Amino acid sequence: MNTTEKVIFEQFPYWEKAIGANVKTSGEELLVFVGCGTSYNLALSLAAYANMAGRRAIAAPGAEWLNRPSAFWPEWRKTHIVALSRSGETTETVAAAKASRAAGAFVTAITVEAESALAKNCDRLIAAATHPDEGIVMTVSASLMVLLGLQMIGQEIPASLVSSARRLADALDAALPKIIEDRSHFVFLGSGPLFGVALEGALKLMEMSQIMTQAFHPLEYRHGPISLVDGQTAAIMLYSSHQKEAEIKLVEELRDKGAVVIGFGGPGDIEFAVDAGLSLAGLAVLPALQILGERAAQARGIETVSPRHLTKVVTLA
Ligand code: F1P
C-alpha cells in the first residue's frame, strides 16, 4: 500500500477529532469562499451549501478574487471572506486574504496549518490537524476543510457520517479497478453542492492518473459534451434528490452510448447507496472519489506520491 492510499483510508479518525468543533459563524455579510485548485472546488461546494442553509454565499478562485473582486460582487469590501487553503501558503489565496482584509472585509481562514501565512493574516482561524503523511495530492485535508466549512455554516455532522463515508470508500474500492478497466475518459456529474465535489473528483483523478477528466452539472452534459461519450468513458454520477428522475434518464443515455456508469445514490452499472442526505452527501463521497483516483493511477502504473508537474504548494514569485 503506498502512502497516498494509506492516508485516504486513515483519514477517518481525523474527521472524528474535527466533528463538534465550535466554529459556527453568524452575520449577514455575503460569504465569499476563496481557494485555489482543490480548495476552490471545495469553496464552490461550500458556497452552495451555505446558500441552502439560508446564508448568502458565492465562491471565487484565489487569483480572481485578488485581481477583480468586483466582477464577482460589487460591494466586495463589505464581504466575509472564507479563505480555504491546506497549506495556508498558496500565493494567490494568501494575497487575496490580505487584500480583502486591508479593504475592510472580515477574513476567516480554514486550513490545516495553524502557523501558516494565511493563519497569521485572518480575523478568525478555523483549523484541524491532518494526517502527518499526507503528500502532494490533497485527500484527508480536503475532507477536513469541507467538514469544518459545513460546521462553520451551522451544519451538524453526525458521528455516523464517518462510518458512512468509510463504507462508501470500501464498497467502491471492492469494485476497483475492474469497473473502470480500459476506460480513458472520466466524467464526473453533480448538481448544486455536488458540482464542486464532481469537479474535485475530476481534478483528483486527473492529477493522480494523468487521465483527461471532465466535470459538469448533470443536465449540462447533453448540451455538447455528450459528443465525446463512447466505450472509453466512465461516468461518475453523484445523484441529487431534487432531479433524480432526470439524472436517471441521462445515465441510461450514457450507458446506451457505451459509458460505464458508477452511480452514487442512484442507478448505474454499479450503484452505491449514499447513507446521507444532500446536505452531507458531498462530504460522504469524497474519500470514495479519492480512492477512485488512486486506483485509476495504479491501473496505469502511475505513482501518486510524486505526481508529474505538481508540488504540494504553489507559490508564485
Ligand atoms: C491547493 C493546491 C492543490 C493542488 C496542488 C497545489 O493548495 O492548488 O489543490 O492539488 O497540490 O495546491 P492549498 O492552497 O489548499 O494549500
Q: Cα of 88 to ligand 1 centre, how many Å?
A: 10
Q: Which of 314, 315, 316 to mutate to test the pocket of ligand 1 (most atoms within 8 A of CB)?
A: 314
Q: Round to whole Å and give the CA distance between 131 and 116.
A: 17
CA nearest ligand 1 atom 11, residue:
312
CA 295 from chain centre, in angstroms, equals 18
> Residues of CATH 3.40.50.10490 domain(s) within the chain?
3-152, 160-299
Q: Round to whole Å and give the CA distance between 275 and 268.
A: 17
What is the atom index within ligand 1 of the atom nearest the CA of 311? 11
Q: Round to whole Å and give the CA distance between 40 and 159.
A: 26
Rg of the chain over all Cα atoms, to the nearest angstrom: 19
Nearest to 264 by CA among 163, 178, 194: 194
Pocket of ligand 1 contains residue 37 by CB under 6 Å: yes
Angle at which helices 140-152 and 278-299 pack, to 10 degrees? Answer: 170
Bridge partners for 233 per DSSP:
185
CA nearest ligand 1 atom 5, residue:
312
Pocket of ligand 1 contains residue 130 by CB under 6 Å: no
Nearest to 45 by CA among 313, 280, 251: 280
Output the tens digit of pLDDT for each of the chain's 317 residues.
Answer: 899 999 999 999 999 999 999 999 988 999 999 999 999 999 999 999 999 999 999 999 999 999 999 999 999 999 999 999 999 999 999 999 999 999 999 999 999 999 999 999 999 999 999 999 998 899 999 999 999 999 999 999 999 999 999 999 999 999 999 999 999 999 999 999 999 999 999 999 999 999 999 999 999 999 999 999 999 999 999 999 899 999 999 999 999 999 999 999 999 999 999 999 999 999 999 999 999 999 999 999 999 888 888 888 888 88
Topology at the third CATH level for domain 160-299: Rossmann fold (3.40.50)
Determine contact, residues 23/148, Cβ cutoff 8 Å.
yes
What is the atom index within ligand 1 of the atom nearest the CA of 41? 9
CATH 3.40.50.10490 fits 3-152, yes or no: yes
**CA 216, 194, 308 angle in degrees (round to 5)?**
65
The pTM assigned to this predicted structure is 0.97
CA nearest ligand 1 atom 8, residue:
37
What is the atom index within ligand 1 of the atom nearest the CA of 138? 10
Quote the pLDDT of residue 239.
Answer: 98
Secondary-structure breakdown of the chain: helix, strand, coil percentages, each rounded to the nearest 5: 50, 15, 35
Determine contact, residues 31/47, Cβ cutoff 8 Å.
yes
Nearest to 268 by CA among 301, 236, 228: 236
Pocket of ligand 1 contains residue 61 by CB under 6 Å: no
Q: Cα of 150 to ligand 1 centre, how many Å?
A: 20
Q: Cα of 291 to ligand 1 centre, how many Å?
A: 18
Nearest to 108 by CA among 90, 137, 88: 88
